[in-house]
Structure 1
Amino acid sequence: MRKSARALDRIDLRILAALQADGRITNAALAERIGLSPSPCLERVRRLEQTGFIRRYTAEIDLSPVTRTVTVFAEVTLASHAQADFARFEAALAAEPAVVEAHCVGGGIDYVLRIVARDIADYHETSERLLASAPEVANLTSYVAIRRVKADSGLPLDRLADPEA
Structure 2
Amino acid sequence: MTDNSPDLDRIDRKILGVLQTDGRITTTDLADKVGLSPTATADRMKRLIRDGYILRFTAELNPQKLNLSLLVFVEVKLDKTTADVFDAFAAAVSRSPEVLECHMVAGGFDYLVKSRVRDMTHYRQFLAEVILNLPGVRETHTYAVMEDVKDTHVLPI
Q: TM-score w.r.t. structure 1 length?
A: 0.86
Count of residues in correspondence between the two structures: 153
**Distance apart, 1:56 and its partner CA:** 0.5
Aligned to 2:134: 133
Q: What does the per-residue CA deviation read over 1:68-122, in whole Å, with 9 as the maximum and x for residues that have no partner?
A: 5211111111122111111111112112111101111111111111111122222
Q: 8 Å contact 2:15–2:34 — kept in the other structure?
A: yes
Q: 8 Å contact 2:70–2:117 — kept in the other structure?
A: yes
Q: 8 Å contact 1:20–1:154 — kept in the other structure?
A: yes
SS in 2 for 1:32: helix
Distance 1:14 1:8 in 2: 10
Q: CA RMSD in A?
A: 1.7
Q: What does the per-residue CA deviation read over 1:2-26, in whole Å, with 9 as the maximum and x for residues that have no partner?
A: xx93211111111100100110111
Ranges in structure 2 where 5+ consecutive residues have no aligned partner: none
**1:155 is matched by which residue type in structure 2?**
L
CA distance 1:5–1:66, shift in 2 (3 Å): closer
SS in 1 for 2:20: helix
Aligned to 1:15: 15
Ranges in structure 1 where 5+ consecutive residues have no aligned partner: 158-165
**1:39 is matched by which residue type in structure 2?**
T
Q: What's the % identity of the aligned pairs?
A: 37
Would you say 1:29 and 2:24 are equivalent positions?
no
Matches within 5 A, 1:94-105: 94-105=94-105
**Distance apart, 1:153 and its partner CA:** 4.6
Would you say 1:82 and 2:79 are equivalent positions?
no
Segment drifting more, 15-24 vs 75-84: 75-84
Q: TM-score w.r.t. structure 2 length?
A: 0.90
SS in 2 for 1:56: coil
Segment drifting more, 5-14 vs 39-48: 5-14
Structure 1 runs of 4+ aligned residues shifted over 6 Å read none
Aligned to 1:48: 48
Q: What does the per-residue CA deviation read over 1:39-82, in whole Å, with 9 as the maximum and x for residues that have no partner?
A: 01100001111111100111111142463521111111112211
